[in-house]
Amino acid sequence: MTSSFPSPGQQPTPPAGAPSPQSRPPADGGSGSSANSGGRTGWFSGLPENIRLFVQLWLLVLGLEVTHQVLNVVIGLLDTSVLKASARESMSDAQLEMLGEDALGAAATGSIVVMGLLSVAMMGLLLWMLLLFRKRSRQAAMARRLLLFFGFYFGFRILMIFLLTPGASDVPVAFYAVDGSLQILIGVLAVLTVILSFRQETLKWTGEIPGDPGAPELPTRRRGGPERMGGDTPGKRRGDDPTPQGWQYPGQSGSAPRQGDTPQDPPSHEQEK
């Protein structure tokens, strides 16, 4: 007769039809990876709040800037008269006759396309700097400074939108309205990234100042004064003893005061006489 109980050290056999422990879902109803990452998976998982917001804003700035550059190329191709006029002013009559009108138009179109490609390549460089900042590499501090420079540039470009007025052109006004709105939105987002780049959490992330970027900031103590949170009382420094030197509690000889003992006033000069 065989026993149905498992021997010591032997795993019990689950009944037929029961799910194995490996196939059981977690208790919270989600996957284990999502639970460990706090519900955020992907490129922004594990980042402090300030760094995550900085990266998200810059991704949005770069996407809108690429859209602005594409729209700028379209506007330039719709009306090349301005470039042709500037080219005629810089060239002599002999050079104009040698080139011809078709070559002049092709040169204007090529310059517009080349400028657009250079602008998109610059956005690719900024995206690479953002990747270095995101990975917290050794060049993270350099990437932060370069992004800071372009953040100032995009913010300053807002003023140029209101100062400059487009001349007579065959391009519909709606194109200029959409392009100007994009530049204003890019400038506002860039100013926000400039503000975030000067925070201590960002500087700790790049290693420009020591510290953990995810740790909360400790209260700083003022020089010659109390701490901001839970510090000493005004006019009193830590380590000061309010009792006179040489005075002890009754019955105290190098030990803690006994229960029931009360402090007494130190003897005055008249009592000593």
Gap between the Cα atoms of 88 and 203, Å rounded: 51
Q: What is the pLDDT of residue 27?
A: 42
**More confident site: 85 or 186:** 186
Q: What is the pLDDT of residue 116?
A: 93
Residue partners of 226: CB distance under 8 A and separation at least 6? 232, 233, 234
**More confident site: 108 or 219:** 108
pLDDT digits (tens, 9 = 90+) for 192-249: 999 999 999 999 999 888 877 766 555 555 555 444 444 444 444 445 555 555 545 4
Q: Which range, of 115-119, 124-128, 266-270, averages the lowest pLDDT?
A: 266-270
Inter-axis angle of helices 49-78 and 140-163, to 10 degrees?
Answer: 50
pLDDT(268) > 90:
no
Domain extents for the chain? 49-206
pLDDT(147) > 90:
yes
| Residue 35 confidence class, pLDDT cut points 50, 70, 90 | very low
Q: What is the pLDDT of residue 264?
A: 55
| Structure token pair of residue 14 | 């689950």
pLDDT digits (tens, 9 = 90+) for 189-203: 999 999 999 999 999
Contact 62, 146 (CB under 8 A): no
- Cβ–Cβ contacts within 10 Å for residue 205, how many? 25
The answer to whether the pTM exceeds 0.75 is: no
Q: Of the ranges 27-31, 104-108, 152-156, 244-248, which is most confident?
A: 152-156
pLDDT(66) > 50:
yes
Q: What is the mean pLDDT of the chain?
A: 74
Distances 7 to 74, 176, 229, 260 between C-alpha atoms, Å:
80, 83, 62, 66
pLDDT(41) > 70:
no
Gap between the Cα atoms of 72 and 237, Å rounded: 64
**More confident site: 2 or 107:** 107
Q: What is the pLDDT of residue 167?
A: 67
pLDDT(29) > 90:
no
For tokens 């050079």, name the residue.
95
Q: Of the ranges 43-52, 57-66, 88-97, 105-114, which is most confident?
A: 57-66
Q: Of the ranges 5-9, 43-47, 108-112, 150-154, which is most confident?
A: 150-154
